[in-house]
């Protein structure tokens, strides 16, 4: 099969991705083999390619926003039913078991079914974080396109318990960005603790931000977008933002909450200063450049809060997909053939993508 691997992490100008031929992978116990229809391109893929995110294995196939169809099953995992991800147990005495979104015995996903694969690939299911519903913090969590090969390929495998059933009546290009950009943005919105009818600031306006802004607007929020790209500001206004200005500018009113999507630490004090009393800034990315010194009185006093967002839970994924089914969002996409994956990442690095880039198999 055709695939892309991160061969030599570095700036996109150094061509860190290499197009290769790989054997079609074999699904392991509790896994499914998926033929990829579309894989959206995430900024995390760019961080991995450029070395901001340290590779966990050589020659990894990136990509974790996959829409595809199940074509084969691996053997059932011994003693735990279908679809089990294994990892160290909470006591460190052997494998733990992570059960899926519907562990009540829904059975195997049928061959031919349309499914989505997201960033979170597996968790141990036994540690104190998993037990309390915070599986995104599991120390043994593994990630698609980082710990294992992802969706910049014609096929990939995934634990059956960690894939999402997807509707047949929506285009794959519409669904794919929801599987990370949408899910992470949804969790960031929860972490920002926006009050009902509140004023939300969105810093940066790429794939995740343009979806999250629509979710917030559907919930009754007033959204102010702050981003450097003129085309992104135009899109923000088209999608219903109350204002769209420069990333380092001042929003027209104090913010009850803000989400930083741009991986720019310099914007942290800017966004904190824009918050009203009691406001929260959530940082949505997996990578952020260094944050400059903060002044207590200007940036944190009056109970302003700064918090990070780490991965997602499967509950977040289900909630976002259910919301999108009830309140369909506009997904702005820029299509590329699989053979153009390196160009897609280069365009993302140069801010030439408005919305989400998506890789389509077979052109």
- pTM (2 d.p.): 0.89
Go through the domains of the chain in sequence order and give each one's CATH number: 2-166+332-360 (3.90.180.10), 182-308 (3.40.50.720)
**Which residues have CB under 8 Å from 27's CB, separation 6+?**
33, 72, 73, 74, 157
From CA 295, how far away is CA 284, in angstroms rounded? 22
Nearest to 315 by CA among 134, 188, 77: 134
- Kindly state the average pLDDT of the residues 319-346: 96
- Kindly state the average pLDDT of the residues 178-192: 97
pLDDT-based confidence at residue 2 (cuts at 50, 70, 90): very high
| Tokens encoding 45 | 């893929």
Residue 78: the pLDDT is 53
Nearest to 44 by CA among 261, 318, 355, 211: 261
Instruction: Tell me which of 182 and 100 has the higher pLDDT.
Output: 182
Alpha-carbon separation of residue 57 from 108, 131, 287 (angstroms):
30, 28, 18
- Kindly state the average pLDDT of the residues 235-261: 98
| Tokens encoding 301 | 């006093």
Residue 318: the pLDDT is 97
- Kindly state the average pLDDT of the residues 153-163: 98
Residue 77: the pLDDT is 63
The 3-class secondary structure across the chain, one letter per residue, is CEEEEECCCCCHHHCCEEEEECCCCCCCCCEEEEEEEEEEECHHHHHHHHCCCCCCCCCECCCCCEEEEEEEECCCECCCECCCEEEECCCCCCEEEECCCCCCCCCCCCCCCEEEECCEEECCCCCHHHHCCCHHHCCCCEEECCCECCCCECEEEEEHHHEEECCCCCCHHHHHHHHCHHHHHHHHHHHHCCCCCCEEEEECCCHHHHHHHHHHHHCCCEEEEECCCHHHHHHHHHCCCCEEECCCCCCCCCEEEEEECCCCCCHHHHHHHHEEEEEEEEECCCCCCCCCCCCHHHHHCCCCEEEECCCCCHHHHHHHHHHHHHCCCCCCEEEEEHHHHHHHHHHHHCCCCCCEEEEECCC
The number of CA neighbours under 13 Å toward the Cβ of 332 is 20
- Residue 105, pLDDT above cutoff 50: no
pLDDT-based confidence at residue 363 (cuts at 50, 70, 90): low
Express as a percent the part of the chain with pLDDT over 70: 91
| Tokens encoding 252 | 């027209």
Each residue of 344-359: pLDDT tens digit?
A: 999 999 999 999 999 9
pLDDT-based confidence at residue 4 (cuts at 50, 70, 90): very high
**Which residues have CB under 8 Å from 101's CB, separation 6+?**
161, 162, 164, 314, 315, 317, 318
Residue 136: the pLDDT is 97
| Tokens encoding 32 | 């499914």
**CB 318: neighbour CB atoms within 10 A?**
15
Residue 76: the pLDDT is 81
Q: Which residue in this structure is represented by tokens 């077979």?
A: 362
- Residue 79, pLDDT above cutoff 70: no
From CA 270, how far away is CA 352, in angstroms rounded? 24
Each residue of 296-309: pLDDT tens digit?
A: 999 999 999 999 99
Express as a percent the part of the chain with pLDDT over 90: 90
- Residue 88, pLDDT above cutoff 80: no
b/e burial code for range 277-298 (CB count within 10 A of at least 16 → b): eebbbbbbbbebeeeeeeeeee
Each residue of 188-245: pLDDT tens digit?
A: 999 999 999 999 999 999 999 999 999 999 999 999 999 999 999 999 999 999 999 9
- Residue 121, pLDDT above cutoff 60: yes
């Amino acid at each position: 099969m055709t695939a892309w691997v991160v061969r030599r992490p570095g700036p996109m100008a150094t061509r860190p991705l290499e197009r290769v031929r790989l054997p079609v992978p074999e699904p392991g116990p509790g896994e499914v083999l998926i033929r990829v229809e579309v894989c959206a391109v995430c900024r995390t893929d760019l961080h991995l390619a450029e070395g901001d995110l340290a590779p966990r294995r050589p020659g990894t196939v990136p990509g974790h926003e996959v829409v595809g169809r199940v074509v084969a099953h691996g053997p059932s995992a011994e003693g735990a039913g279908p679809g089990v991800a294994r990892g160290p147990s909470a006591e460190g005495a052997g494998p733990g078991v992570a059960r899926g979104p519907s562990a009540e015995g829904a059975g195997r996903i049928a061959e031919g079914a349309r499914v989505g694969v997201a960033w979170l690939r597996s968790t141990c299911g036994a540690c104190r974080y998993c037990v309390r519903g915070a599986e995104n913090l599991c120390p043994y969590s593994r990630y698609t396109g980082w710990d294992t090969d992802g969706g910049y390929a014609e096929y990939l495998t995934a634990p059956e318990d960690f894939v999402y059933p997807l509707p047949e009546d929506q285009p794959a290009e519409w669904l794919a960005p929801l599987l990370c950009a949408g899910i992470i943005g949804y969790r960031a919105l929860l972490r920002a603790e926006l009050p009902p009818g509140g004023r939300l600031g969105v810093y940066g306006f790429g794939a995740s931000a343009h979806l999250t802004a629509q979710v917030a607007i559907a919930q009754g929020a007033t959204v102010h977008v702050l981003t450097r790209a003129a085309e992104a500001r135009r899109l923000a206004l088209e999608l219903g933002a109350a204002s769209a200005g420069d990333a380092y500018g001042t929003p027209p009113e104090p913010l009850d909450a803000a989400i930083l999507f741009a991986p720019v630490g310099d914007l942290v004090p800017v966004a904190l200063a824009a918050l009203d009393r009691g406001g929260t800034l959530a940082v949505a990315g997996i990578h952020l450049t260094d944050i400059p010194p903060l002044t207590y009185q200007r940036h944190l006093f009056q109970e302003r809060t700064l918090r990070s967002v780490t991965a997602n839970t499967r509950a977040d994924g289900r909630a976002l997909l259910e919301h999108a089914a009830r309140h369909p969002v506009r997904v702005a996409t820029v299509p590329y053939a699989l053979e153009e994956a390196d160009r897609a990442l280069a365009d993302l690095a140069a801010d030439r993508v408005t919305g989400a880039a998506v890789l389509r198999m077979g052109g």
